[in-house]
Amino acid sequence: MQTERKTFDISNISVRFGDKTVFRDFSLALPKNEITCVLGPSGSGKTTLLKVLSGILPIEGFCSPKCSFVFQDHRLIPYLTALDNLAIILDGDNVSRKERARLMLSDMELKEAENLYPHELSGGMAQRVAIARGLLYEADILLLDEPFKGLDLGLQERLIKYFGKYWEAKRRTTVFVTHSILEAILVADRIIILDKGEEGAKVVYDKAVTLPRSARALGDPEVDALRKEIHDILVAL
Ligand code: ADP
Ligand code: MG
């Protein structure tokens, strides 16, 4: 009898752009139904990894799963309102789709944006609509590329809470790329650091975060120690 794998595996992928090797025989096992946070210097291959996973960058022999991708830019449909940008990706009848979309917008503090078009939204609002869409879309893997970048700190903190709440309800396999160590510690089940190299990117740090999410906050000794540990590795790269 075959038991179902507990990880989603990327095995021996290679990506080159011209004479630049981003990945060579790179492998990574993503624990299913967990959040893997990816940190690492600019240019280390974080976005490329998400593109490979999603199939945007096709790799021979790699079969990409059904993905929900929150990009660094919002990529909303310009001729649809914020509400319809969410409703369009949902299944069901019109009324229930709009209802779910409305609820999500309200949780993302975007009630007033419902009927606005993307060009009428501030950058931060559009980004939140994109995060909302990513969370609502039913997929096997959720990919987020620095989703909270550029949002002010208070909002960032609240959105991380909402993100956690929605995520807990579905527990999808998630890859979350961020530059923020704290953000990673607040959301991750596992944190990895990618570093670039002549021979392609390598995972130079890989750690499970076992502290319950609800107990994670600045000032907690375990959180602070982990922050320092990760900080010291990143500044040395
Ligand atoms: P990160 O997201 O970690 O900052 P990327 O995955 O975007 O890094 O990029 C990894 C490396 O690959 C960088 O050196 C980048 O310049 C290069 N790269 C990414 N996409 C392309 C592309 N389409 N064409 C050429 N080079 C690329
Ligand atoms: Mg990137």
Query: Residue 57 has what DSSP assignment?
Result: S
Distance in Å, CA 1 to ligand 2 centroid: 41
Whole-angstrom Cα distance, residue 112 to residue 47? 32
Coil, helix or strand at residue 86: helix
Name the residue at shortest CA distance from atom 26 of ligand 1: 17
Beta-strand relationship, 190-195 and 202-208: antiparallel
Q: What is the pLDDT of residue 2?
A: 57
Distance in Å, CA 65 to ligand 1 centroid: 22
115-173 pLDDT per residue, tens: 999 999 998 899 899 999 999 999 999 999 999 888 888 888 888 888 888 888 889 99
61-110 pLDDT per residue, tens: 898 999 999 998 889 999 999 999 999 999 999 999 999 999 999 988 89
Task: Please check the confidence at residue 1 and state whether its pLDDT lies above 80.
Answer: no
- 29 token code pair: 């096992």
For residue 71, which ligand has an atom nearest its CA?
Answer: 2
By the CB criterion, residues less than 5 angstroms from ion ligand 2 are 46-47
Coil, helix or strand at residue 42: coil
Name the residue at shortest CA distance from atom 22 of ligand 1: 17
In this prediction, residues 21-40 reach a mean pLDDT of 96
Q: What is the pLDDT of residue 65?
A: 92
Whole-angstrom Cα distance, residue 10 to residue 52? 9
Distance in Å, CA 46 to ligand 2 centroid: 5
Whole-angstrom Cα distance, residue 208 to residue 200? 24
